Amino acid sequence: MKVFAHRGFSGKYPENTLLAFQKAEQAGADGIEMDVHLSKDGQLMIIHDELLARTTGKEGKVSDYTSRELSSINAGKTFADSYGITPIPRFEEYCEFLQSNTMISNVEIKTDNTYYPRIEEKALEVIRHYHLEDRVIFSSFNWLSVARIKQLEKAIPCGLLYGDSSVRNIGALARTFGIEYCHPSIALVDDEMVRECREQQIGLNVWTVNTPEQIEALRHWNVAGAISNFPDMCLDVLKR
C-alpha cells in the first residue's frame, strides 16, 4: 500500500506548502496529495480552499489575486505553530521539487465549487513540461474534470474522488470510462465496495486516514493507497 501525505505532511506542518511536502519526503511517504486552483492570471497555485482566509488570514478568493501576489502570501499564517514564511506554492515549484525525488503525486483539481476554464489543459501542460507523466494521478470531486484529463491524455492515471454515501457501483463506473482509481472517503469503504472495485480491477486510494485503526483496516482490505495527514504514523503501523 502506498502512503500519500495529504496536503503534504499537514498534521504537523502548514498544509500545501513546500515545507509540508519536504517533510513528507523526509518522513518516507510514497507520495503527496495536493490541491490546485487558478490565480487571476490563470496560473496553477497549490492551496486547498477557494477562499484565502482559513490558511492565510487574507480576504477574498485565490482567483482575485495574481500568481505573483499569491506567491508572497504566507500559507502558514493561521497554522498553530509558526514556521516563518511558508508561501503559497506555484505548481511549477512543486514539479521542480518532485524532480528532486522519486515520490508520486495525487494532483486534486479543485473545480468542485468554481470551474476554472482550461485548468485541466494547464495542469497537463506543466506535468508534460517536467516529464512527470508517470508519477501523477489526477483526481477531482468534479468528475467532468477527471473526464477532461482522460480525454486529453488517456495514459495518465486518474481517480474519481467522492465522499457521498449514495454513490453505488463506483468500480463499474470508473472502468466504463477508462479511469484507473476511485478515491473514496474512508467512511464509505466496506467489504462490498472493496470487492466491487477489485472485480472491476479499479484501485482504491482512500482519504483521510488519520488513526492506526484506519490504516490497519486498509491493510486488511489491501487497497492501493492511503492518503493521510500523518504519513509517519501510517508508515510506522505498516512496518509492524
The answer to the question of residue 237 lying near ligand G3P (CB under 6 A) is no
- The answer to whether 38 and 63 have CB atoms below 8 angstroms apart is yes
Select from Ca ion, ligand G3P, none the partner in contact with residue 207, using the beta carbon and a kind-dependent cut-off of 5 to 8 Å: ligand G3P
Segment 126 to 185, residues that bind ligand G3P, using CB under 6 A? 139, 161, 183
The answer to the question of residue 232 lying near ligand G3P (CB under 6 A) is no
Segment 183 to 222, residues that bind ligand G3P, using CB under 6 A? 183, 207
Q: Which of 37, 48, 131, 220 is catalytic?
A: 48
Residue 163 or 212: which CB sits closer to Ca ion?
163
Q: Per-residue contact track with Ca ion, 9 to 38, x per CB under 5 A? A: --------------------------x---
**Catalytic residue at 6?**
yes
Nearest residue to 92 (alpha-carbon basis) of 134, 47, 33, 46: 46
The answer to the question of residue 35 lying near ligand G3P (CB under 6 A) is yes
Nearest residue to 75 (alpha-carbon basis) of 83, 86, 67: 86
Burial of 173: CB neighbours in 10 Å, binned 0-12, 13-18, 19+: middle
Min. distance of Cβ 237 from ligand G3P in angstroms?
A: 19
Q: Which residue is nearest to ligand G3P (CB)?
A: 207
The answer to the question of residue 180 lying near Ca ion (CB under 5 A) is no
The answer to the question of residue 120 lying near ligand G3P (CB under 6 A) is no
**Catalytic residue at 183?**
no
Q: Per-residue contact track with Ca ion, 63 to 102, x per CB under 5 A? A: ----------------------------------------
Nearest residue to 37 (alpha-carbon basis) of 58, 3, 9, 64: 64
Residue 139 or 214: which CB sits closer to Ca ion?
139
Select from Ca ion, ligand G3P, none the partner in contact with residue 139, using the beta carbon and a kind-dependent cut-off of 5 to 8 Å: ligand G3P
Give the residue numbers annotated as catalytic, written as ranges: 6, 48
